[in-house]
C-alpha cells in the first residue's frame, strides 16, 4: 500500500512538473505578446501625435482657403450686380422694342393702302445707348462663361 501511495505521489509530482512547464511556456508567450502590445501602443501614440499635427495643418489650410474663396466671391458681387442691371436694361429695351413694333404695326394697319404695302421699311441703326447696352450684354456673357469654366 505504501508503494501505491509513493507511485501516486510520483505521478502527481510528474503531472505538477508538466503543468508548471506548460504554465511557464504560456506566461512566456503572454510576456512576449504584452511586450509587442506595449511597442505597438507606443508607435500608435507617436503616429496619432503626428496625424493630429497634420490634421491641424489641413484645417488651417482649409480655413485659409475658405477665407480666400469668400473674398473672391465678395469681389464677384459687383459683377453679378452689373449683370443684373444689364438684364433689367435688356428687359426694358425689349419691352420698348415690342411697344414700338406694336405701334408701328397698328399704324400700318390703320393706313393700309396699296402703295404703302409695296414700300419696305428699313430699320434705323440703333443709337449709342443701345450699342453700349449690347456691348455690355456681350461682355457679361463672356464673363459668365469664364466663371462657369472655373
Q: What is the pLDDT of residues 14-48, one digit of tens each?
A: 999 999 999 999 999 999 999 999 999 999 999 99
Confidence of residue 147 (pLDDT cuts 50, 70, 90): confident
pLDDT at position 118, please?
Answer: 53
d(C-alpha 27, C-alpha 11), whole Å: 24
56 is written with which cell numbers? 491641424
pLDDT at position 10, please?
Answer: 95
Domain count for the chain: 1
26, HSE (Cβ side, Cα atoms, 13 Å)? 6
* More confident site: 117 or 34: 34
Residues 62, 66, 69, 71: is their CA dihedral positive or negative?
negative
CB 140 within 8 A of CB 86: yes
Confidence of residue 121 (pLDDT cuts 50, 70, 90): low
- What pTM was computed for the model? 0.38
Confidence of residue 99 (pLDDT cuts 50, 70, 90): confident
Question: What is the total residue count of the chain?
Answer: 150
pLDDT at position 29, please?
Answer: 95
The domain of 92 spans 2-149
**Per-residue pLDDT at 115 exceeds 70:** no
Amino acid at each position: 500500500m505504501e508503494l501505491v501511495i509513493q507511485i501516486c505521489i510520483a505521478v502527481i509530482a510528474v503531472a505538477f512538473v508538466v503543468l508548471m512547464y506548460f504554465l511557464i511556456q504560456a506566461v512566456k508567450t503572454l510576456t512576449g505578446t504584452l511586450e509587442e502590445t506595449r511597442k505597438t501602443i507606443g508607435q500608435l501614440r507617436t503616429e496619432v501625435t503626428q496625424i493630429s499635427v497634420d490634421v491641424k495643418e489641413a484645417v488651417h489650410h482649409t480655413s485659409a482657403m475658405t477665407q480666400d474663396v469668400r473674398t473672391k466671391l465678395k469681389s464677384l458681387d459687383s459683377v453679378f450686380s452689373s449683370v443684373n442691371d444689364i438684364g433689367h436694361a435688356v428687359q426694358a429695351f425689349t419691352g420698348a422694342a415690342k411697344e414700338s413694333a406694336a405701334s408701328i404695326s397698328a399704324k400700318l394697319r390703320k393706313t393700309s393702302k396699296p402703295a404703302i404695302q409695296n414700300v419696305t421699311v428699313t430699320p434705323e441703326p440703333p443709337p449709342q445707348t443701345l450699342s453700349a447696352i449690347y456691348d455690355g450684354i456681350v461682355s457679361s456673357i463672356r464673363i459668365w462663361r469664364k466663371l462657369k469654366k472655373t
